[in-house]
Amino acid sequence: MRPEVALPVIIPLLCGAVSLLFWRSRPMQRFIAVAGTLALLVVGLWLITSVSREGYVVIHMGSWQAPYGISLVADMLSAIMILLTGIIGLGLAIYSLASTSTQHEKFGFYPLMHLLLAGVAGAFLTGDIFNLYVWFEVMLVASFALLILGGEKAQMEGAIKYVTLNLLASVIFLTAIGLVYGMVGTLNMADIGQRLAEAENQGMVEVLAIMFMIAFGIKAAAFPLFFWLPASYHTPAVAVSALFAGLLTKVGVYSLFRVFTLMFDQTMPYVQDILLWGAAFTMVTGVLGAAAQYEFRRILSFHIVSQIGYMILGLALFTPLALAGGIFAVMHNIIVKTNLFLISGITNRLQGTYQLKKMGGLFKERPWLSVAFFLSAFSLAGIPPLSGFFAKFVIVRAGIEAEAYVVTAVALAVGLMTLYSMVKIWNEVFWKSLPEDNLVPESSTPSGDEGRLVKSSLGLMYLPVAILALFAVLIGVFAQPLMEMMLMAGEQLMDPQGYMDAVLGEERTVLLRDALEVSP
């Protein structure tokens, strides 16, 4: 009985239910938001210590043994993702105390946030492919409601693209699950992995691989089906965009990592080629799209797409080092990208707009905010010694070792282009003086009681920004021990047998292998 594997899902579910029950009481909801995400973070730490000690931690829900019941499985990759979910969840809960309007709170912002976190945590932990689909849907429902919170026209437009593309992905995903079940008669991912390798009809296995790739590719916003992301992520309340930017697309990336190491080995040559070139195009289109934008959050949204390319590149190169680099990129990106969105929310609070042309002068006015932005932005661009540098360094090195020179060169060039976009934001928002036609909203410089209130709420917004910026530095400083964790995760992914043994039990694995060898 290992409660720490299931608690990351149960805690947000419980908090969501309680917070819905207290829908009349705003203070209570806010308290539960912070306490619940703090508990999630603590469980995340507990889980990662267990996993680094034992390798795999498994719990069979309802005592139904695998492969018949639903198992929750944590390997190093899952544990890292859960810990990051806890960090981002807590940061956002604190931030949204100040940034979320009373009206949004009344419409159920906090219960939805808990539900979204439950969906994300469930997707990271489940060992069952259909259960993974269910968690995706939980996430989709919660994210759709969060996306249209407030009900402005731009939000609706973004939400329609978001929902349509995501539902399409869900349909493809579900169809693929049905076909897999028809082929091998099991839904447990470890069991599927064993049986697909032995399946007679390898042509069908390839088709399934492509279907899963398309479904998760859409969810992760990979080329060519990424356009729903920049169309929708800049429309909702800023805490919501930060939450989406940090966690949602990464669930798609995580699923790609999981499915293409556990269920499908990459012996099919063109699967790997598609991933490789998909990654390259994703990087380039994302960064080019960002170069043309002059809206703070739109630039950041396009950069999400571009960064997804790096992560998929790590998967496509398929060596332990490359996988470790890919996971490092996921970690770095979750922290830094969330922080950039949070900063965009503060600058919007200060200057009343997201349009770069209308902003300016913040370096003089808010030096510490500028430092936080500087650290996050240049970390995103991969400047040493910040976190992004090591992510990129490891992936590029793995790329050269794998002799994928063209894609590696693309990755390096994209880093340069990222720097261009970040410098653009830096120049426009922080460096140049405030254009005269911008009327700073009065709320930023009120006097008396209200002024103090705004000041203390700004403090709440600064706190997570400062901590996340510190993380961007610390990840760079402690790159070595972190890299060891990533390498452990990468090696676990390269050797799915360990995962299968942990889920199914070693005896059964051997029995099944013998049975399959005898039967044909």
Please give the residue ranges that form the binding site for other proteins (CB under 8 A).
Answer: 1, 3, 6, 10, 13-14, 16-18, 20-23, 59-63
416, with CB counted inside 10 A (0-12, 13-18, 19+), is: exposed
Amino acid letter for position 40: L
Say how far apart CA 125 and CA 255 lie, in whole Å.
11
Minimum Å gap between C-beta 512 and other proteins is 23
SS3 content of the chain, % helix, strand, coil (to 5): 80, 0, 15
Nearer residue to other proteins within complex by CB, 60 or 366: 60
Say how far apart CA 475 and CA 466 lie, in whole Å.
14
Minimum Å gap between C-beta 393 and other proteins is 41
Say how far apart CA 488 and CA 77 lie, in whole Å.
9
Q: H or E stretch including 282? A: helix 269-291
Nearer residue to other proteins within complex by CB, 61 or 460: 61
Nearer residue to other proteins within complex by CB, 47 or 238: 47
Cα dist from 9 to 32, 78, 123, 353, whole Å: 16, 13, 9, 37
Minimum Å gap between C-beta 313 and other proteins is 37
Cα dist from 321 to 282, 487, 498, whole Å: 21, 7, 18
Coil/strand/helix, residue 295: strand
Minimum Å gap between C-beta 236 and other proteins is 22
Nearer residue to other proteins within complex by CB, 63 or 102: 63
Minimum Å gap between C-beta 13 and other proteins is 5
Sign of the dihedral defined by the CA atoms of residues 471, 472, 478, 480, in that order: positive
Sign of the dihedral defined by the CA atoms of residues 369, 83, 225, 284, in that order: positive
Minimum Å gap between C-beta 171 and other proteins is 24
Say how far apart CA 248 and CA 243 lie, in whole Å.
7
Minimum Å gap between C-beta 63 and other proteins is 4
Minimum Å gap between C-beta 423 and other proteins is 47
Nearer residue to other proteins within complex by CB, 103 or 444: 103
Minimum Å gap between C-beta 226 and other proteins is 34
Minimum Å gap between C-beta 72 and other proteins is 9
Phi, psi of 71 (to 5 degrees): -105, 140
Nearer residue to other proteins within complex by CB, 14 or 274: 14
Say how far apart CA 488 and CA 78 lie, in whole Å.
12
126 forms bridges with which residues in the sheet?
Answer: 72
Nearer residue to other proteins within complex by CB, 20 or 35: 20
Nearer residue to other proteins within complex by CB, 62 or 448: 62
Per DSSP bridges, beta strands 57-60 and 71-74 are antiparallel
Angle at 406 between CA 401 and CA 408, to 5 degrees: 55
Nearer residue to other proteins within complex by CB, 59 or 190: 59
Minimum Å gap between C-beta 504 and other proteins is 16
CA atoms within 13 A on the CB side of 488: 18
**Minimal CA–CA distance to 225: which of 300, 165, 296?**
165
Minimum Å gap between C-beta 492 and other proteins is 23
Nearer residue to other proteins within complex by CB, 57 or 299: 57
Q: H or E stretch including 244? A: none
Say how far apart CA 80 and CA 287 lie, in whole Å.
27
Cα dist from 439 to 347, 353, 358, 403, 482, whole Å: 14, 10, 9, 54, 46
Nearer residue to other proteins within complex by CB, 118 or 177: 118
Sign of the dihedral defined by the CA atoms of residues 75, 334, 331, 165, in that order: positive
Nearer residue to other proteins within complex by CB, 44 or 382: 44
